[in-house]
Amino acid sequence: MTELELWKYAKSVIDNGSPLMMTVVLDARESTPGKQGFKMVTGLNGEINGSVGGGKMEYDVIQESVESLKAGAGKNYFKYYNHYGDKPGSTGMICSGSQIIGYLRLGKDDAETVAKVVNAIEKNTGGIFSADANGIGFSELNGRTKKFGFDEEEWAYSEVIGIKERVYIFGGGHVGLSVSEIMSFLDFHVIVIEKRKDIFTLINNCHANEIINEDFVDYSDKIIEDDFSYVIIVTPSHFHDEDVLRAVIGKKVRYIGMMGSKAKVKSIFRNMKNDGITEEMLDGIHSPIGLPIGSKTPDEIAVSIAAEIIKIKNSVFF
């Protein structure tokens, strides 16, 4: 279930006059089934959407949610869940980690806030979802901020929500098409930049949200610089690859990857070093692109690229 689907479901329940419990993983440490930001909504009858990690722990969370809803109004609260096998206080799961799960009771008074979240996700404008003991909120983004924030002592949680990770794919050939498909499946906003207009892989690309027929380097100035932007360089020639890399290497984005053999990468990097590009800047480039899984076909290469981006996306923020 996507973030949008979960929030739209929550909105529909509230609009129908029923309360629900939204449970959120406020913090997660070591190895846990649910990561920070995972959400689940539970209704009075135990119907659920989303997940906070599954297993026995999630079953307990559902039961707790139903009991709390039936007990009536009360302040939001959070609980600790430890997964250390048969140790005292453990859920019985053997993940060897811990989660803090927040219980947020939502009703008609929260309808406007929930509607704002849905609107922000649909329009990809983003905002900051917040929760504390007294309720939930949603505010506009104000400059660069962390994806997640949680102050246990103050009982204050915040999360940037409503912004899709966006991937800029420079090159609309076979690999660009395959990468477009898998990144779209992963719910990224996919932008393909290709100056050739009549190639069949571009014509047949029904997965991209945007197809830009423009010079590669000229378009590079339009990249949004933030922690939700990822750049993939898979142009039809190493000359174009080098031009694009030179244009984007200084940009503040989450990921830059360039396809190529080790020999090609070495040659391009040598040229750039000779022109004053520092070793430190080049060290931040993922090239050869993708996780080393022995990829051969465009689809296999796309899987390796997607896997590398997922690894970066899900790593610790800033």
Distance CA 200, CA 161 (A): 36
Considering the domain architecture, whether residues 189 and 295 belong to the same structural domain is answered as yes
**107 shares its domain with 241:** no
Tell me, yes or no, whether 85 and 205 share the same domain. Answer: no
Q: What is the pLDDT of residues 242-291, one digit of tens each?
A: 999 999 999 999 999 999 999 999 999 999 999 999 999 999 999 999 99
The answer to whether residue 318 is domain-embedded is: no
Per the model's pLDDT, the better-predicted residue between 38 and 57 turns out to be: 38
- Specify whether 139 is located in the same domain as 245: no
Residue holding tokens 């539970």?
42
Residue 85 resides in a domain: yes
Q: What is the pLDDT of residue 317?
A: 44
Residue 195 has φ and ψ, to the nearest 5°, of -80, -20
DSSP-derived pairing of the beta strands 20-30 and 127-132: unpaired
Residues 261 and 125 in one domain: no
* pLDDT per residue as tens digits for the range 10-30: 999 999 999 999 999 999 876
In tens, the pLDDT along 220-242 reads 999 999 888 999 999 999 899 99
Domain membership of residue 111 (yes or no) is: yes
Residue 39 lies inside a defined structural domain of this protein: yes
pLDDT of residue 94: 46
- CATH of residue 193: 3.40.50.720
pTM of the model: 0.75
| CB-CB neighbours of 6 under 10 Å | 20
Proportion of the chain above pLDDT 90, given as a percent: 74
Q: Among residues 112, 135, 161, which one ends one of the domains? A: 161
Residues near 300 by Cβ (< 8 Å), separated by ≥ 6?
293, 294
Point out the domain boundary residue: 113, 135, 161: 161
Residue 168 clears pLDDT 70, i.e. is over it: yes
Clarify whether residues 21 and 53 are in a common domain: yes
* Domain identity same for 194 and 81: no
Q: What is the dihedral of CA 84, 88, 90, 92, to 10 degrees?
A: 80
**pLDDT above 70 coverage of the chain, percent:** 92
pLDDT tier at 92, thresholds 50, 70, 90: low
In a domain, 72, yes or no: yes
**Does residue 86 sit in the same domain as residue 28?**
yes
Residue 278's nearest CA partner among 256, 259, 243, 250 is: 250
The residue among 118, 138, 161 that closes a domain is 161
Q: Which domain holds residue 252?
A: 166-313
Tell me, yes or no, whether 47 lies in a domain. Answer: yes
Torsion of the alpha carbons at 88, 90, 96 and 98, rounded to the nearest 10 = -120
In-domain check, residue 252? yes
Q: ω before 88 within 30° of 0 (cis)?
A: no
- Does the pLDDT of residue 31 top 90, yes or no? no
> For the chain, what is the domain count?
2
The residue among 177 and 86 whose pLDDT is bigger is 177
